[in-house]
Amino acid sequence: MPESPILFAGSCALREEAKGSLTHCPYCGLQCPMELVTLPSGSQVFPGDPEWGLCRKGWTAAELLDRNDRLLTPWVRDHKRAKLRPASWGEALRKIAESLGKLRATYGLSAVGVFGGGSLTNEKAYLLGKFARVVLGTPHVDYNGRFCMSSAAAAITRSLGLDRGLPFPLEDIPQTEVILLAGANLAETMPPVMRYFQRQKERGGRWIVVDPRKTSLAEKADLHLAITPGTDAALAMGLVHLALREGWVDWEFVRERTEGLQELALVASQFWPERVESITGVPVFRLREAARWLGRAKTAMIFTARGAEQQAHGVENVLGYLNLALVLGKIGRPFCGFGTWTGQGNGQGARELGLKCDQLPGYRSIQDRKARQEIAALWGIPETALPREGLSAWELLDGIGTREGIRGLVVMGSNIAVSAPYSSRVIQALESLEFLLVVDFFLSETALLADVVLPAAQWAEEEGTMTNVEGRVVLRQKLKKPPPGVCTDLEILHQLARVLGWKEGFPSDPCEVWEEIRRATRGAPADYYGVTYERLRRGERLFWPCPQLGHPGKARLFLDRFETPTGKARFFPVRNFGPVEIPDSQYPLLLTTGRVGAHYQSGTQTRRTRELLEAEPEPFVEMHPATARSLGIPHGGWARIWTRRGEIRVRARWSRRILPHVLFVPFHWSGLGQANRLTNPALDPVSKMPEFKVCAAAVEPCSCPQEPESPDKQNCPEEGVTE
Ligand code: SF4
């Protein structure tokens, strides 16, 4: 698979034709700066910083602003068997108020859930969380970031006391000697960030990449540890074992800045190299090499991403790598540290500002009495009226249709019919809801199942802030008006609150919402009080925490102390590892899912972008030629893959980049090639992260599939949406 190119503005003559305005990319957590210009041929983006560059997703982002299949009016369904039809805003809002009111009166406030997205701006995430808890009075609000980096967040909070994706700015990366990346394919998913890694390499640095596939990043690595999916915790503890045994421990650091080594050492003694090789498949000599490089280096950084995190032992996997960074003393000092790569544009900010079922704005626990009192006072409700912890993302979907469960759902900025695990069950659950409201800018697979769909503005048509992978706040400016009939998400929340009886407290102006966020987070761990639109407009680089107006924000965390009560980082012995499903005679292979460079998340946007669709038009299974040959599946031939939850049919791509007992399927598509029909919803007990990354599977050759009429197609509207 080719690496995604980084595209630079260079001498592009088109750019000179029109003066654009600065904003940020609508996609991933890197939030690359970009400029939007209007040319006679339509909107076009260019890199906001000519030195920086964009990946092909960013470069083509403007195409979606002008697409003619955008939603331009609300759509409603008169009854469950009816097709969606266009409606006025007044009719749609009346139907929403009536339906939600009926559900709440019949089943209670908890019968309605809210599902948000990690691409929503800080202002939208905050207001959606407030809407759920104040207007609907439901505890059940969560977001698709739960499926993204919740395991890393939980592990980092446990060990270091405060979770921020990267606790240092990207500029620090070139200064470190050795980098270990576990389950991250940045060369394909975030190409512009590779400039920092390249510079580190040019300075003599080395990369160790842990991945079951020889990805574009692993190909460039100095050492590739081709791990069996689901065994990261064992690998990390094996490296801790070697650090302890071979004398790579930084004893001064461990004594002064950590606690709990004794228990860790006891557990680590069980992870001797030969045992770790038998669990992970990584040869002993490579394990020793990795430990030696990390141990001997004066500085090192360790990163995880979804490969290690999206597992039912995701928290333990990340804790294993944190233990390694701590035992080596490669954290809490310059050019060292542990970080995780935020996938979605605002995965970080959305959870800090209250879109998780267990958190209030400012990254405070919803069980914390003081935090509850402060937020309730700000929101103008008694503390007793503020709901307590609700269901996490998968539990919320799984709770649909149960006796005490969810009967109505509000979805904003998420396409759960494609992105949630065990998606055939999710689709059935969504169909069984008594009322489903979806807010989106395209008729996504989830919107097709809705009773009401509201058309929302896109990234360049509204103002708002995002918190990027570094914990830095960036301002997305409004560069053009939404099309007639389309409202911003904030305007929609304002209207929904109004029809449900709340005349105040839900402003549609992002600046007004931001001012409330500043007050809501003041003094909290994720303190945004010192960040203002004025400062961002002046071009200040502001990281949270930023407690005062004159404060520069804290670009580097943990240099003096960790944010635990004692100020010391905590070791966590890791005992559990391995996939929930072990291969057997019925399901002899391991399936892992992931991303390709041309697509983003459930593909709602990128599958509508011509160049991206041409680059990757369809899903596929990557499999080792030896496995494919033994099963009679030719390169380019059709393969049927099935797990305990369902089956898909996709074309096979032979590749020596993958282990013979592993299959890889990207998850960006719906229909017969939808990878999440197969994935396991088993949850990590702490983070509630589903086991996206590994399950037992079987594969065989099959003929070219005839797509049966899917529930999605049956729900397609009769008219109005045109290509
Ligand atoms: Fe957009 Fe991420 Fe690509 Fe940058 S790397 S252009 S933020 S998708």
Going from the Cα of 555 to the center of ligand 1, the distance in angstroms, rounded, reads 21
Q: How many CB atoms lie within 10 A of CB 386?
A: 19
* H-helix or E-strand spanning residue 511: helix 510-521
Going from the Cα of 197 to the center of ligand 1, the distance in angstroms, rounded, reads 16
pTM of this prediction?
0.94
Length of the chain: 723
CA distances from 654 to 189, 337, 452, 622 (A): 21, 37, 43, 6
Query: Which protein residue's CA is at the shortest distance from atom 2 of ligand 1?
Result: 28
User: Between residues 22 and 299, which one has the greater pLDDT?
Assistant: 299
> At residue 171, does pLDDT exceed 90?
yes
* CA–CA dist 598, 163 (Å, integer): 29
Going from the Cα of 477 to the center of ligand 1, the distance in angstroms, rounded, reads 17
**What pLDDT is recorded for position 5?**
43
Query: Which protein residue's CA is at the shortest distance from atom 6 of ligand 1?
Result: 58
Q: Which of 15-19, 430-434, 463-467 has the lowest average pLDDT?
A: 15-19
Q: What pairs with residue 76 in β-bridges? A: 85, 452
The secondary structure of residue 77, as a DSSP letter, is E
Query: Which protein residue's CA is at the shortest distance from atom 3 of ligand 1?
Result: 55
**Which atom of ligand 1 lies at the shortest distance from residue 30's CA?**
7
* CA–CA dist 66, 497 (Å, integer): 30
Q: 232-246 vs 261-268: helix axis angle to the nearest 10?
A: 110
* H-helix or E-strand spanning residue 44: strand 42-47
User: Between residues 58 and 18, which one has the greater pLDDT?
Assistant: 58
User: Can you say whether residue 161 is alpha, beta or left, with left for phi > 0 and alpha for psi between -120 and 50 degrees?
Assistant: left
* CA–CA dist 445, 422 (Å, integer): 15
Q: To test the ligand 1 pocket, which listed residue (7, 25, 342, 346) has its Cβ within 8 A of the most ligand atoms?
A: 25
Q: To test the ligand 1 pocket, which listed residue (22, 24, 27, 612) has its Cβ within 8 A of the most ligand atoms?
A: 27
At residue 325's C-alpha, the angle toward residues 323 and 326, to 5°, is 65
589-701 to CATH, choices 3.30.420.40, 3.40.50.1370, 3.40.50.2000, 2.40.40.20: 2.40.40.20
* CA–CA dist 300, 333 (Å, integer): 10
pLDDT in tens, 546-574: 999 999 999 999 999 999 999 999 999 99
Structure tokens at 75: 């759509």
Q: How many CB atoms lie within 10 A of CB 198?
A: 14
> At residue 26, does pLDDT exceed 60?
yes
231 contact partners, CB below 8 Å, separation of at least 6: 279, 280, 281, 577, 578, 579
- Given pLDDT bands bounded at 50, 70 and 90, which one contains residue 718? very low
For 11-66, CATH number? 2.20.25
Going from the Cα of 251 to the center of ligand 1, the distance in angstroms, rounded, reads 40
At residue 136's C-alpha, the angle toward residues 511 and 123, to 5°, is 20
pLDDT in tens, 313-339: 999 999 999 999 999 999 999 999 999
pLDDT in tens, 387-403: 999 999 999 999 998 87
Half-sphere exposure of 186 (CA within 13 A, CB side): 25
As a whole number, mean pLDDT of residues 243-271 equals 97
Q: How many CB atoms lie within 10 A of CB 626?
A: 11
The residue assigned the tokens 């469960």 is 405
Query: Which protein residue's CA is at the shortest distance from atom 7 of ligand 1?
Result: 31
* CA–CA dist 55, 570 (Å, integer): 38
> What b/e string do you get for 609-624 counting C-beta neighbours within 10 Å, with b at 16 or more?
beebbebbeebbbbbb
> At residue 713, does pLDDT exceed 50?
no
**Which atom of ligand 1 lies at the shortest distance from residue 26's CA?**
1
**Is there a contact between 193 and 242 (Cβ–Cβ < 8 Å)?**
no
Q: How many CB atoms lie within 10 A of CB 260?
A: 17
CA distances from 538 to 460, 527, 534, 552 (A): 19, 20, 6, 13
The residue assigned the tokens 């590892």 is 577
User: Between residues 290 and 23, which one has the greater pLDDT?
Assistant: 290
**What pLDDT is recorded for position 52?**
85
**What pLDDT is recorded for position 13?**
44
As a whole number, mean pLDDT of residues 24-35 equals 94
Query: Which protein residue's CA is at the shortest distance from atom 1 of ligand 1?
Result: 58
Instruction: Give the 3-state secondary structure of residue 307.
Output: helix
- For domain 150-341, give the CATH superfamily: Dimethylsulfoxide Reductase, domain 2 (3.40.228.10)
* CA–CA dist 708, 217 (Å, integer): 38
Going from the Cα of 55 to the center of ligand 1, the distance in angstroms, rounded, reads 6
Domain 75-143+345-508: top CATH class = alpha beta
Going from the Cα of 395 to the center of ligand 1, the distance in angstroms, rounded, reads 31
> At residue 116, does pLDDT exceed 80?
yes
> At residue 15, does pLDDT exceed 80?
no
**What pLDDT is recorded for position 7?**
46
**What pLDDT is recorded for position 548?**
97
Q: To test the ligand 1 pocket, which listed residue (32, 344, 459) has its Cβ within 8 A of the most ligand atoms?
A: 32
* CA–CA dist 275, 577 (Å, integer): 13
Mean pLDDT of the chain: 93
Half-sphere exposure of 582 (CA within 13 A, CB side): 3
CA of residue 418 relative to chain centroid, distance: 14
* CA–CA dist 168, 705 (Å, integer): 49
* CA–CA dist 635, 615 (Å, integer): 18
Going from the Cα of 189 to the center of ligand 1, the distance in angstroms, rounded, reads 8
Going from the Cα of 14 to the center of ligand 1, the distance in angstroms, rounded, reads 21
**Which atom of ligand 1 lies at the shortest distance from residue 34's CA?**
6
Pairs from 629-636 (Cβ < 8 Å, separation ≥ 24): 631/699, 631/700, 631/701, 632/701, 633/699, 633/700, 633/701, 634/701
Instruction: Give the 3-state secondary structure of residue 360.
Output: strand
Going from the Cα of 6 to the center of ligand 1, the distance in angstroms, rounded, reads 9
Query: Which protein residue's CA is at the shortest distance from atom 4 of ligand 1?
Result: 32
pLDDT in tens, 207-241: 999 999 999 999 999 999 999 999 999 999 999 99
- Given pLDDT bands bounded at 50, 70 and 90, which one contains residue 41? confident
Strands 42-47, 33-39: pairing kind: antiparallel
Pocket residues: Cβ below 6 A from ligand 1: 25, 27-28, 30-32, 54-55, 57-58, 190, 192
Domain ranges of the chain: 11-66, 75-143+345-508, 150-341, 589-701
As a whole number, mean pLDDT of residues 141-166 equals 95
pLDDT in tens, 601-660: 999 999 999 999 999 999 999 999 999 999 999 999 999 999 999 999 999 999 999 999
Going from the Cα of 694 to the center of ligand 1, the distance in angstroms, rounded, reads 26
**What pLDDT is recorded for position 722?**
31
**What pLDDT is recorded for position 706?**
66
> At residue 12, does pLDDT exceed 60?
no
pLDDT in tens, 500-529: 999 999 999 999 999 999 999 999 999 999
**Which atom of ligand 1 lies at the shortest distance from residue 190's CA?**
5
Going from the Cα of 457 to the center of ligand 1, the distance in angstroms, rounded, reads 20
* CA–CA dist 636, 624 (Å, integer): 13
- Given pLDDT bands bounded at 50, 70 and 90, which one contains residue 343? confident
pLDDT in tens, 72-91: 999 999 999 999 999 999 99
Nearest to 129 by CA among 360, 349, 312, 303: 360
**What pLDDT is recorded for position 20?**
54
> At residue 16, does pLDDT exceed 70?
no
